[in-house]
Structure formats: C-alpha cells, structure tokens
C-alpha cells in the first residue's frame, strides 16, 4: 500500500541527531521539510531526502526503497543531495539559505537549514493582488541575483526557481530556497521524473535530455518569476510553448504598467532559445539595478479604456481583412 506524503513524514517529537522535530513544514516530490529545535531551542528547517516515487518509510523510521530496480536511482539522488548540502554549507550569503549542518540518518540524508521568519513570494503576490510595483521587483530580484551568482560560482545550479522558492524575510531581503541537484540528476536518468519540474518556470532544456543545462536555465526561471510578479500569473509552460507558443510577451502585455527596459529584459530571459537569453546573471542584475529606466506614463482611466477599445477594434479589422 502506497503511503501518503503526510504519512511518510517523521512525527512531532521525533529525535533526529541533536534536533527535535516540531512539525511538518512542506512536502515535495523529492524531499520533506520539518521545523525542528536544537537543544538550545533554536529553530531550524530540516530537509530530508525522500523521493516519493522511489522510497517509503518503515515502522522504525528508516527510509527504504520500494523496488530493487529503483535502488541505483535512489542512491544516485542521495549522493547528489549530500553533495548539494556540502556545497551550500560552504556558501555564506544573505540571499541564499544557509545550511548549518548535514548528516546521514535513517538510511537517508538531512540538511539542517536556517529558519527565517517571513513569507514566500507566492503569499506576497496574493496580498498585493497578483502584481508588484517595479521598484520592489527590481530591488528584490537584484538582491536575489547576488545570491544566485554566488551559487553558480560554486558550480551549483538551482533548477527550480519559482515564487514558492523565494522567501521574503520579515524586515529583510529575499532568500533563495530549495535547490534541485538530486532532482536534476534523477530527471536526467529517468523520464518518469520529468513531470517533477514546475510547469511555467522550468526552461525548455529541462525537458530534453539532449539540451545542455547551465546558468541560462536559471535565467529562464528568473524571467518566469518576473513575469508572474508583473501580474502574468504562471507563464505558459515551455513544453507547451514548444508546440504552440501562446505566451504574450511582457513588452506587449505590460507596456503600460512597467518600463520598456524591464519588459524587454523579461522577454529575453523567457526566450525559448538559450543562446538568445542574457549571457550572464551579471547582465540581468545590472539591468535590474539600472536607476535610469523610463517609468511608463499611466493614462487616465477613461483614456486607458479608449486605448484598449481602439486596440481591440484594430485586431478585429485585421482579422477580417486576413
């Protein structure tokens, strides 16, 4: 009988090395995250490697692979998860989640991360009505890119940048969470895991084994996050775009709400061809930090309605004459 992800989680009060589990924080396809306390009652978020398609938990708390044929894939993901923890433990940057400890237990691996008060960008967007002002977008993402650049310097890609993995500290800056080294490795090894990518934020090369992944892959996801923050919701997925691209460019959809410079940057980041995206994270960051961008001039409401009607009529006329 297959366990639900909640049933798989360690119970409150469970003693894990020098930490006590308080409660479940989140469940993903490859991991489970808990709130925990150390012996000094300091809070931590502990991330457990537990790919739901491969493993389950026994009555003794041990993680076991369900089918012998999956053991190799599980071990490979475990190795990458551990390596991810090792790399992140060596990164000390205010915009990257800090890994304070990592260890093996219960036949799996645990990453002990800082616990920050605040809320995810998804919640911030809900509160703001689905759209953020340009100054906040530029400030937060420029800071986030500083952290991501540091990660890339350590030869680690994120591969799952999305609003849910961007955490806004209370009274502080944004924090990049939930890296995907194990996810990347398993996806490359098995088609079964391709669906574990987040539609709308995953770059087209993440769906194709013959396309190289690199910093340009994270740049695509950043463009998708920017598009969401501008009021576009979750963009059309790259897999669907490859068949029929229905994603309205930011430079057309948001032209009256955001600067031309920001709209054009988003469109470049979301290009289906990696070589047409910005060449480096530094280039994206510099454009976000540009203090001379031109603010769009908002029309009075009556003029704005007239402008939209005129555009609609032009599209009708064009469709009839075609």
- Residue 320: what pLDDT? 37
Dump pLDDT digits (tens) for 195-212.
467 899 999 999 887 889
Q: Is residue 300 in a domain?
A: no
- Answer yes or no: is pLDDT of 68 > 90: yes
| Within a domain: 174 | yes
∠ CA 9-164-216, nearest 5°, is 115
Q: Is the pLDDT of residue 189 over 60?
A: no
CA 217 to chain centre: 11
How many CA atoms, within 13 angstroms, populate the side-chain half-sphere of residue 42? 10
The verdict on residue 298 lying in a domain is no
Domain hosting residue 94, numbered range = 8-114
The answer as to whether 293 is a domain residue is no
Lowest-pLDDT choice from 79-83, 169-173, 290-294? 290-294
- What pLDDT is attached to residue 317? 42
Which domain-ending residue is among 60, 95, 114? Answer: 114
pLDDT score at 196? 60
CATH number at residue 237: 1.10.510.10
pLDDT score at 5: 52
- Which pair of tokens denotes residue 217? 């892959």
**pLDDT given for residue 308 in this prediction:** 44
The continuous run of DSSP H or E covering 271 comes out as: none
The dihedrals phi and psi of 258, each to the nearest 5 degrees, come to: -135, 165
Q: Looking at the 3D structure of the chain, how many domains does it have?
A: 2
- Tell me: pLDDT of 77 over 60: yes
Chain centre distance of CA 53: 21
Q: What is the dihedral of CA 51, 96, 225, 140, to 10 degrees?
A: 160
pLDDT at 312: 44
Task: Assign residue 92 the CATH number of its domain.
Answer: 3.30.200.20
pLDDT band at 192 (very low <50, low <70, confident <90, very high): very low
């Amino acid at each position: 009988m297959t366990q639900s992800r909640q049933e798989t989680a360690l119970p409150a009060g469970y003693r894990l090395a020098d930490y006590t589990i308080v409660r479940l924080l989140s469940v993903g396809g490859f991991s489970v995250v808990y709130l925990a306390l150390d012996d000094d009652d300091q809070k931590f978020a502990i991330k457990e490697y537990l790919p739901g398609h491969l493993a389950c938990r026994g009555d003794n708390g041990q993680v076991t692979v369900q089918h012998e044929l999956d053991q190799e894939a599980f071990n490979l993901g475990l190795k990458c998860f551990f390596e991810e923890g090792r790399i992140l433990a060596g990164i000390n940057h205010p915009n990257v989640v800090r890994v304070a400890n990592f260890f093996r237990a219960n036949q799996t691996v645990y990453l002990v991360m800082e616990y920050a008060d605040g809320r995810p960008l998804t919640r911030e967007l809900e509160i703001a009505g689905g759209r953020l002002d340009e100054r906040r977008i530029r400030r937060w993402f420029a800071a986030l890119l500083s952290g991501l650049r540091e990660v890339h310097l350590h030869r680690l890609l994120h591969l799952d940048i999305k609003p849910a993995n961007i955490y806004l500290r209370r009274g502080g800056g944004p924090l990049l969470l939930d890296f995907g080294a194990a996810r990347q490795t398993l996806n490359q090894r098995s088609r079964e895991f391709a669906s574990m990518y987040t539609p709308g934020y995953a770059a087209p090369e993440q769906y194709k084994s013959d396309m190289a992944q690199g910093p340009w892959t994270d740049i695509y996801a950043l463009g998708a996050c920017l598009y969401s923050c501008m009021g576009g919701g979750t963009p059309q997925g790259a897999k669907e775009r490859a068949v029929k691209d229905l994603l309205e460019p930011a430079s057309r959809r948001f032209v009256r709400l955001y600067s031309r410079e920001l709209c054009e940057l988003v469109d470049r980041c979301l290009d289906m061809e990696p070589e047409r995206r910005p060449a480096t994270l530094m280039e994206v960051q510099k454009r976000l930090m540009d203090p001379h961008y031109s603010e769009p001039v908002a029309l009075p409401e009556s003029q704005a309605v007239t402008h939209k009607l005129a555009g609609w009529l032009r599209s009708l006329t064009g469709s009839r004459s075609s």
